[in-house]
């Protein structure tokens, strides 16, 4: 994920970067390659990089534990300012390049934005019914007869308690 910007003239350039998720350290939740469509706007004082990231995730459904594979996308923009005195910046996605630099590595940014693209809720489908906590059957695929029993189990102690107070 290295861009040797000294090879580019001032102006706008588009190019494609691709690297295996394994090389990026993302193999745990992703598979295949991370692809980045880059648009680089280079001028004498700065480089602005616009990136469209595509990754393929492999996760497990939070409810039914089924494997789920999804294509995730994310967009990010980074500004690189040419500066001879390198000061730290708190500004979001602004970085500095010294005159000795000749390349940008967006590896860490790709890593970060791939992680950010992961959904909070990981469901094989929005209405996933999950597994029966009693018999473990996948309720998306088949029904089970546990429901009545479970309702009974959950409320029985309460009912008994209530009975005690009423006496
Ligand atoms: Zn599910
Ligand atoms: Zn069941």
d(Cα 131, Cα 146) in Å, to the nearest integer? 11
Record the tokens describing residue 65, joined without a space.
């534990």
Centroid of ligand 1 to alpha carbon of 65 (angstroms): 6
Residues 54 and 33: beta-carbon distance below 8 Å: no
More confident residue, 148 or 145: 145
Whether pTM exceeds 0.85: no
Centroid of ligand 1 to alpha carbon of 164 (angstroms): 41
**123-136: average pLDDT:** 91
**Averaged confidence pLDDT in the chain:** 89
Q: Which ligand is nearest to the CA of 137?
A: 2
Binned at pLDDT 50, 70 and 90, residue 150 comes out as very low
pLDDT at 149 exceeding the cut of 60: no
Return the percentage of the chain with pLDDT > 70, whole number: 86
d(Cα 20, Cα 138) in Å, to the nearest integer? 33
Q: Which ligand is nearest to the CA of 129?
A: 1
Centroid of ligand 1 to alpha carbon of 91 (angstroms): 40
**What's the half-sphere exposure (Cβ side, CA atoms, 13 Å) at 62?**
8
Centroid of ligand 1 to alpha carbon of 61 (angstroms): 5
**What pLDDT does 115 receive?**
95
Q: Which ligand is nearest to the CA of 64?
A: 1
Residues 109 and 78: beta-carbon distance below 8 Å: yes
Residues 103 and 2: beta-carbon distance below 8 Å: yes
pLDDT at 113 exceeding the cut of 80: yes
Centroid of ligand 2 to alpha carbon of 161 (angstroms): 27
Which range has the worst mean pLDDT, 68-72, 88-92, 102-106, 111-115?
Answer: 88-92
Closest of 5, 51, 1 to residue 26, by C-alpha: 1
């Amino acid at each position: 994920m290295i861009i040797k910007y000294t090879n580019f003239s001032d102006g706008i350039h588009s190019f494609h970067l691709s690297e295996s998720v394994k090389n990026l350290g993302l193999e745990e939740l992703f598979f295949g390659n991370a692809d980045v469509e880059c648009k680089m706007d280079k001028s004498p004082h700065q480089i602005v990089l616009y990136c469209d990231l595509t990754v393929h995730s492999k996760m497990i459904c939070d409810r039914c534990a089924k494997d789920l594979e999804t294509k995730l996308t994310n967009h990010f923009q980074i500004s690189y300012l040419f500066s001879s005195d390198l000061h730290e910046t708190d500004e979001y996605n602004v970085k500095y390049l010294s005159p000795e630099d000749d390349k940008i590595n967006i590896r860490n940014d790709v890593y970060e934005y791939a992680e950010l693209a992961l959904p909070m809720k990981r469901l094989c489908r929005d209405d996933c019914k999950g597994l029966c906590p009693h018999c473990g059957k996948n309720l998306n695929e088949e029904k089970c007869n546990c429901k009545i029993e479970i309702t009974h189990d959950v409320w029985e102690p309460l009912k008994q308690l209530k009975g005690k107070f009423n006496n």
